[in-house]
Amino acid sequence: MSENIYQQLGLKRVINACGKMTLLGVSSVAPEVMRATSEAAGAFVEIDKLVVRAGEQVSRHTGAQDSYITACASAGIAIAVAAAITRGEPEHVAQMPDSCGLANEIVMLRGHNIDYGAPIVSAIRLGGGRVVEVGSSNLAARWQLERAVSERSAALLYVKSHHCVQKGMLSIEDFAAVAQAHDLPLIVDAAAEEDLQQWVARGGDMVIYSGAKAFNAPTSGFITGKARWIAACRAQHNGIARAMKIGKENMVGLLAALERYHDAPPAPGPDTLLPAVDAITALRGFHADIEQDEAGRAIWRIRVRVSESELGLDARAVEALLREGETAIYTRRYFLHEGVFSIDPRTLADGEMALIVARLKEIARHAAD
């Protein structure tokens, strides 16, 4: 197999069985998307007009009134927070991220206060926000959300992520009702979500997506929602968003990726994973089955349970051996403490599942020696 560009730089080949994760470069971009990116990079354009037109094009897909393209989803959070605090007023935009004297509290569930590789609080603070947590880590009530809103509130934030606590939380409808009752915007972090329209339809005023995750775009993101709030996001172009600006080429690349997203083949279903499940279960010390994504998305993965008593290695040791080989194999490692890791097939190239099974077989054989 020929070396890829990263191997030519002296880096390992990587098999990504982890999913669309920032630490592995998120996703692979289709050649036709890269052609659009390359063409955009080679020409000049009036950036402000491109920003507006790109937002219009994104909104065709989301059904929202308007959209604003960002450098990534994290930048989208900071910009949306700044938009909520400043409401687009130029003197307040220039003041950010110093929000002294302004209503700057962002109300969110404690179970949604996550770390996705960086604390979500960091992005909120970059936008001038101060977090107010609601409820306990595993339980929240509507009255707690209502009580948390005050004259210091700038926005409510709802996070849709597999990183969040999934039980005992309030629904987005609860958040939308409270936000509307207090004339506050509802920000929705839907970074890895695949449904382009659901979160706007359910009440989000500023819904944030990563372009590079579900949509396989170059590094990018966007905020989509109500025209009033998207205008306030666009105003941050003269403030904190300047430090987070996205290039013309990645704006066009995102648009190209969204155009082909509707025609993309579906993610591998559970039935297509059965041969690999059987092959892994046949190995000493391993048992595999099929699991659905923690956040309820139509994403199916192979869950591999390691029997330390049979193998002589625990799940942490197996996962480390996978990563430390000549080819680095990355799996989802959130439940290693339970003796489990998972294989996400969405980011695997042809033949790579067979290579993973072969590497597990090699690990089982060496553990028996």
Query: What are the helix (H) ranges across the chain?
Result: 5-8, 31-41, 47-62, 73-86, 90-95, 120-126, 142-148, 172-181, 198-201, 227-235, 248-261, 270-281, 308-311, 315-324, 352-368
For residue range 83-134, what is the model confidence (pLDDT) as tens digits? 999 999 999 999 999 999 999 999 999 999 999 989 999 999 999 999 999 9
| From the candidate CATH numbers 3.40.50.2000, 3.40.50.1360, 3.40.640.10, 3.50.50.60, the one assigned to the domain spanning 45-261 | 3.40.640.10
For residue range 317-332, what is the model confidence (pLDDT) as tens digits? 999 999 998 899 999 9
Whether 4 has a pLDDT exceeding 90, the answer reads no
Q: What are the φ and ψ backbone dihedral angles of 107, each rounded to 5 degrees?
A: -95, 125
CA distance 262 to 215: 9
pLDDT category at 26 given cuts 50, 70, 90 is confident
- Per-domain residue ranges of the chain: 5-25+266-368, 45-261
Report the sign of the C-alpha dihedral through residues 110, 291, 347, 306, in that order.
Answer: positive
Residues 5-25+266-368, CATH architecture: Alpha-Beta Complex (3.90)
Report the sign of the C-alpha dihedral through residues 39, 9, 221, 130, in that order.
Answer: negative
Mean per-residue pLDDT over the chain, rounded: 94
